Structure 1
Amino acid sequence: MESHSEEHATKLLQAQTHVWNHIFKFINSFSLAVELSLPDIMHKYGQPMPLSKLIASLPIHPSKTCFIYRLMRILTHSGFFSQHNGIENEQEVIRYELTDASRLLLKDHPFSMTSLPQAILDPILVNPWFQFSTWFTNEDPTPFHTQHGMTLWDLAGREPKFNHLFNDGMAGDARLVSSVMIEKCKGVFNGLESLIDVGGGTGTMAKVIATSFPQLKCIVFDLPHVVADLQGTENIKYVGGDMFEAIPSADSIMLKWILHNWNDEECVKILNKCKEAITCDGKVIVIDMVTESKKEDDRLVETQLFFDMQMMVTLTGKERNEKEWGKLIFSAGFSNYKITPVLGLNSIIEVYP
């Protein structure tokens, strides 16, 4: 049995480890080394890949070959690859295989997330964190504004490479979410004849929905410069405008990852415009996070908290719990809502007039 002093020392060392782990969490992100295309190289190989073959396939300087094992060690620990040890010709051979997580980093995966780490780890989004403490002492709306002197949306319009990575990442997420949503929640679209995808970008989400529900007339509604050169189809139309001014009329309006970008006052304005646009028996379909809904899943909760902090640093928005969502919805004059937590980090919130 440990003495009081031994127990105190054990707790102290555990606390020290906890602090070190928290300090170094950024290393997990940068260790993905997306530009090396490790998942694509291993996928092309077609079977568990020996470390020697992996090293030989990488576009690296010969002086760096000895470091790949150490990189693979942390990526294996993080769940991005699985490791298999064996013996061949009396020599130990280490082989690596893809996991579900690393498959999402394949460039040709239909739900590829490859662009997201490149965008989120870009200095444009990382540098505002160096202003985090300073921001608490000034009147700037966000640390991003303290760093760059403008909003994320304004800067993205001036940085084509970053803008492309960000939009490509959002498109991949939209494909994944819409696919799962249609598989699990087809009833959300039952009886609808028209849908407005507000802030729908290039129409990734609308295209998936329109394919599954050909009777549904979809309008992708975004800023004029976003949709200016996009060509519609038989049941998809692109319309430019400002959601704070007016939204086209329809049975239903979809807001995917829109409201978490804005503060409460701005969200009520957007929801007011939605209420004006839908029919009396229509609804607003919100796809966003509902925090505290799955408290038993520590990894999911932590990821939602990361998103909330990113909203604080980058935009004026936030991630909300059910009570906060209810307050927004009723403040905008809606009568009821239903939350369906079936999209991992996100939920479907059906809002009724």
Structure 2
Amino acid sequence: MERIELDEAKLQGQAEIWRYLYSFTDFIALTSAVQLRIADIIHSNGGAATLSQIASCISDGHTSTDITALARIMRLLVRRKIFTIHPPSDGGDPLYNLTHSSRWLLHDSEQTLAPLVLMENHPWQMAPWHYVSQCVKEGGTAFKKAHGCEIWDLASRDPDFNKLFNDGVACTSKFITSAILSGYKQGFNSIGLLVDVGGGTGGLISEIVKVYPHIKGVNFDLPHVVSTAPAYNGVSHIGGDMFHAIPNTDAIIIKWVLHNWNDEECIKILRNCKKAIPRENGKVIIVEIILKEDGSGVFDDIGFLMDLVMFAHNSGKERTEAEWKKILEGGGFSHYKIINIPALVSIIEAYPDA
């Protein structure tokens, strides 16, 4: 009996390795669905479409869609519960339907992850993964080993990559912003001037100002980033470098920025934040993942995947509360509180030491 259990465990272990070995195919199938706009096709067809209907919409009129290849991709995505398939009541061809997952792949939705899927699958983003083990042996940044420069340098000189990166980041900003506004309702009431450090093209600060019109908003990022930012009512765009100085303000919000940098760099940014806000009633609103090593929440596992993304793409990392406490103290913010919001990230409200 013990021998049978050992054999079953060994087979299960083998199956697990097979699964991890080819788990990249899940991502490729998902990316294909986004590139082919399959979710959009089903959505525009009233929420259900046959394989032939999907294929005809994919065809651009110059080529014929390989419906067999499409069927194979859809078969895997149905198994992964990205789409569902049901026989129609009239006995015709099976119908594919959207799920809660595939609705996040709609290109024109306010809540979409499609641009992030396209960004992460781009060869520029995939290449660094082949250097991860080399970084373990030698140190350094995988992205730089792959491309000869840091990710920010490539974005500053390559407009196509800059747009790809900004679009990927901006799509997450929309629904995380919604979570911030719903979970941090009282936090903005006493703020007159708010600077969004590393605010990208200004999506977050524009939404905050829209809900709290008494706030004067400043979107602060690198010059090549703010140069592509649209105009928003109540928001000024300022180009600069957070490692040198941050505009003086009542409060700072810094969303998904510190995880891009190592501890020493984060401390330098936080010290500049401290210089920019008043000692009394000033605060920094940090929006980041907080790793929970034994966490079983809906997003807790994603944090550890994101940590390796940081490892591959820059010198940053995701952090536990103890790790956040260390850099906050180093930056001059010994006092803080954590506010949970309905998102992958949490809010750390930090107050400057006297």
Classify the TM-score, shorter chain: over 0.9
SS in 2 for 1:154: helix
Q: What per-residue deviation string (whole Å, max 9, x for no partner) do you get for residues 101-151 of structure 1? A: 222211111132211111111111111111222223334x21111111110
Pair 1:136-2:115 in alignment: no
Displacement of 1:333 in angstroms is 1.5
SS in 2 for 1:52: helix
The separation in 1 between residues aligned to 2:276 and 2:39, in whole angstroms, is 45
2:178 aligned residue: 179
Displacement of 1:87 in angstroms is 5.0
SS in 2 for 1:220: strand
Larger displacement relative to structure 2 (19-28 or 68-77): 68-77
Displacement of 1:307 in angstroms is 0.7
CA distance 1:229–1:17, shift in 2 (3 Å): closer
Larger displacement relative to structure 2 (74-83 or 26-35): 74-83
The separation in 2 between residues aligned to 1:19 and 1:306, in whole angstroms, is 17
SS in 2 for 1:350: strand
Q: Conserved in 1, the CA contact under 8 Å of 2:192 and 2:250?
A: yes
The separation in 1 between residues aligned to 2:134 and 2:181, in whole angstroms, is 44
Q: Normalization by structure 2: what TM-score?
A: 0.93
Larger displacement relative to structure 2 (103-112 or 28-37): 103-112
Displacement of 1:226 in angstroms is 2.1
RMSD value, Cα: 1.8
> What amino acid is aligned across from residue 65 of structure 1 in structure 2?
I
1:5 aligned residue: 3
Runs of 4+ off more than 3 Å: 60-63, 228-234
> What amino acid is aligned across from residue 260 of structure 1 in structure 2?
H
Displacement of 1:165 in angstroms is 1.6
Q: Conserved in 2, the CA contact under 8 Å of 1:201 and 1:226?
A: yes
Pair 1:49-2:49 in alignment: yes
The separation in 2 between residues aligned to 1:66 and 1:102, in whole angstroms, is 21
Aligned ranges 1:212-223 → 2 under 5 Å? 212-223=211-222
Larger displacement relative to structure 2 (223-232 or 148-157): 223-232
2:126 aligned residue: 126
Displacement of 1:180 in angstroms is 1.9
1:66 aligned residue: 68
The separation in 2 between residues aligned to 1:136 and 1:339, in whole angstroms, is 32
1:349 aligned residue: 348
2:199 aligned residue: 200
Displacement of 1:234 in angstroms is 4.8
Q: Which runs of 5+ in 2 are unaligned?
A: none
Displacement of 1:81 in angstroms is 1.4
CA distance 1:224–1:27, shift in 2 (3 Å): same
Larger displacement relative to structure 2 (221-230 or 3-12): 221-230
Displacement of 1:206 in angstroms is 0.8
Paired positions, count: 347
Larger displacement relative to structure 2 (74-83 or 242-251): 74-83
- Alignment identity in percent? 37
Q: Conserved in 1, the CA contact under 8 Å of 2:206 and 2:235?
A: yes
The separation in 1 between residues aligned to 2:237 and 2:68, in whole angstroms, is 52
Q: Which runs of 5+ in 1 are unaligned?
A: none
The separation in 2 between residues aligned to 1:50 and 1:228, in whole angstroms, is 44
Q: Conserved in 2, the CA contact under 8 Å of 1:231 and 1:238?
A: no
Q: What per-residue deviation string (whole Å, max 9, x for no partner) do you get for residues 196-248 of structure 1? A: 00011111111110100000011111112222465655521111111111111
Q: Normalization by structure 1: what TM-score?
A: 0.93
The separation in 2 between residues aligned to 1:301 and 1:234, in whole angstroms, is 36
1:113 aligned residue: 113
Q: Conserved in 2, the CA contact under 8 Å of 1:36 and 1:59?
A: no
1:75 aligned residue: 77
